[in-house]
């Protein structure tokens, strides 16, 4: 895990500049919308849940923070290292450093010796520096790699770029067959002739001219093959609605489908950062206050490694919601 983080950080040079976008892709507004949208599936809220923490369902120790960083897979330690860099090493976690580093190094999901981890995590999550550290690791492990993949296909539309971020969160951002890179390869392999379309972007895929939206439709088909329930399926359905509404380039707001199958508007004026708006509308605009869902207590925590075939550390995946009433049919056509 350490290796992956270092490669990722040193390779892109974006680690310390939080607001830098690692590609020509998503702008501040469309990136904000992409984060809000993925959070909506993952958390039933447009906002990240920095203080989230509990024992991982699958034995990877504690799972905590905005994408369930795990003590037993090493990315939680990466967050804490990034935080130490900001605090100078003297903070809530200092006394656990030795144990946390060892568990990260060994991939050990034991919680022995770190029993108070979640209390410390919650305490630290009140501080901007710790939220920044979580954001940095999210960017380094998921967002930046997803946009590097987007650039490699020359994607130009927000909807496609955001879908790759969403996939990285659910399936990891590695080349293994059931992770983002593998799904892109499989998508590309499915074209055997030019596919025109009505978007403004044409991709060169294996010598064929493929409209970017037609490419995205095929990508969603591929992804559906790896997603039978939970947030991933909700994401696919929401993106199909976005395509029907022809919301290709995101500049201001978009209409999306939430986990309850309701069309809601999310806007760049809102944010995935709780600290960014004190009025704190953590729900999209069609929901009234009493419908707001606080997910942190009910959400299951799991760091199931999809795409573990490659053994890549960046295969860590996020949770699926426990919104069992949302287990709808997965038909995306």
Ligand X SMILES: *[C@@H]1O[C@H](CO)[C@@H](O)[C@H](O)[C@H]1NC(C)=O
Q: Which of 63, 64, 153, 180 binds ligand X (CB under 6 A)?
A: 153
Q: Quick one: DSSP state of residue 210?
A: E
Cα 151-154-157 angle, rounded to 5 deg = 95
Which regions of 212-274 does DSSP assign to beta strands (E)?
253-257, 263-267
Output 106 or 291, the one with its CB closest to ligand X: 106
Q: Which of 58, 110, 253, 296 binds ligand X (CB under 6 A)?
A: 110
3 binds ligand X (CB under 6 A): no
Quickly tell me which residue has 């919650």 as its tokens: 122
Task: Tell me how far apart the alpha carbons of residues 210 and 91 are, in angstroms, rounded to a whole number.
Answer: 52
Beta bridge partners of 211: 202
We find the least distance from the C-beta atom of residue 213 to ligand X, in angstroms, to be 7
108 binds ligand X (CB under 6 A): yes
For residue 216, count other CB atoms closer than 10 A to its CB.
28
Closest CA to 58 of 236, 327, 305: 305
- The distance from CA 298 to its chain's CA centroid, rounded to whole angstroms, is 19
| Listed ranges 43-51, 105-113, 256-264, 265-273: which one lies at the site for ligand X (CB under 6 A) | 105-113
78 binds ligand X (CB under 6 A): yes
Cα 193-194-196 angle, rounded to 5 deg = 145
Q: Which of 19, 88, 90, 112 binds ligand X (CB under 6 A)?
A: 112
12 binds ligand X (CB under 6 A): no
Task: Tell me how far apart the alpha carbons of residues 254 and 267 are, in angstroms, rounded to a whole number.
Answer: 7
| Listed ranges 29-37, 81-89, 281-289, 309-317: which one lies at the site for ligand X (CB under 6 A) | 81-89
We find the least distance from the C-beta atom of residue 319 to ligand X, in angstroms, to be 23
232 binds ligand X (CB under 6 A): no
| Listed ranges 102-110, 220-228, 266-274, 295-303: which one lies at the site for ligand X (CB under 6 A) | 102-110
20: tokens are 């830098």
Quickly tell me which residue has 């984060």 as its tokens: 35
Continuous segment of H or E residues that includes residue 39: helix 28-43
251 binds ligand X (CB under 6 A): no
Task: Tell me how far apart the alpha carbons of residues 81 and 107 are, in angstroms, rounded to a whole number.
Answer: 16
| Listed ranges 24-32, 35-43, 76-84, 323-331: which one lies at the site for ligand X (CB under 6 A) | 76-84
Output 6 or 280, the one with its CB closest to ligand X: 6
Interacting positions 168-187 with ligand X (CB under 6 A) = none
Q: Which of 40, 76, 96, 203 binds ligand X (CB under 6 A)?
A: 203
We find the least distance from the C-beta atom of residue 203 to ligand X, in angstroms, to be 6
78: tokens are 């990466």
154 binds ligand X (CB under 6 A): yes
238 binds ligand X (CB under 6 A): no
210 binds ligand X (CB under 6 A): no
- The distance from CA 100 to its chain's CA centroid, rounded to whole angstroms, is 24
Residues in touch with ligand X (CB under 6 A) = 9, 78, 81-82, 85, 106, 108, 110, 112, 153-154, 197-198, 203-204
């Amino acid at each position: 895990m350490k290796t992956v983080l270092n490669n990722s950080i040193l390779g892109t040079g974006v680690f310390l500049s939080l607001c830098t976008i690692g590609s020509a892709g998503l702008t501040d507004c469309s990136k904000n919308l992409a984060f809000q949208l993925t959070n909506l599936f993952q958390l039933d809220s447009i906002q990240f849940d920095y203080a989230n923490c509990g024992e991982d369902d699958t034995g990877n120790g504690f799972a905590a923070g905005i994408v369930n960083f795990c003590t037993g897979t090493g990315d939680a330690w990466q967050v804490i290292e990034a935080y130490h860099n900001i605090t100078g090493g003297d903070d809530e976690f200092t006394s656990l450093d030795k144990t946390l580093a060892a568990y990260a190094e060994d991939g050990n999901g034991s919680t022995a010796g770190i029993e108070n981890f979640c209390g410390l995590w919650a305490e630290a999550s009140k501080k901007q520096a710790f939220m920044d550290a979580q954001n940095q690791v999210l960017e380094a492990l998921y967002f930046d790699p997803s946009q590097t993949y987007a650039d490699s296909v020359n994607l130009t539309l927000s909807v496609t770029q955001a879908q790759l971020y969403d996939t990285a969160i659910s399936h990891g951002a590695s080349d293994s067959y059931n992770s983002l890179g593998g799904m892109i390869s499989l998508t590309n392999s499915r074209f055997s002739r030019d596919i025109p379309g009505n978007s403004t972007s044409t991709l060169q895929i294996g010598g064929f001219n493929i409209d970017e939206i037609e490419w995205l439709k095929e990508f969603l088909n591929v992804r559906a093959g790896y997603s039978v329930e939970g947030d991933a399926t909700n994401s696919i359905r929401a993106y199909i609605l976005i395509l029907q509404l022809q919301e290709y380039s995101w500049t201001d707001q978009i209409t999306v489908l939430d986990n309850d199958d309701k069309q809601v508007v999310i806007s760049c004026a809102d944010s995935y950062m709780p600290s960014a708006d004190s009025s704190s509308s953590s729900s999209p605009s069609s929901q009234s206050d009493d419908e707001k869902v606080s997910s942190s207590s009910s959400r299951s925590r799991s760091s199931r490694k999809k795409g573990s075939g490659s053994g890549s550390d960046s295969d860590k995946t996020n949770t699926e919601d426990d919104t069992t009433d949302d287990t709808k049919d997965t038909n995306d056509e």
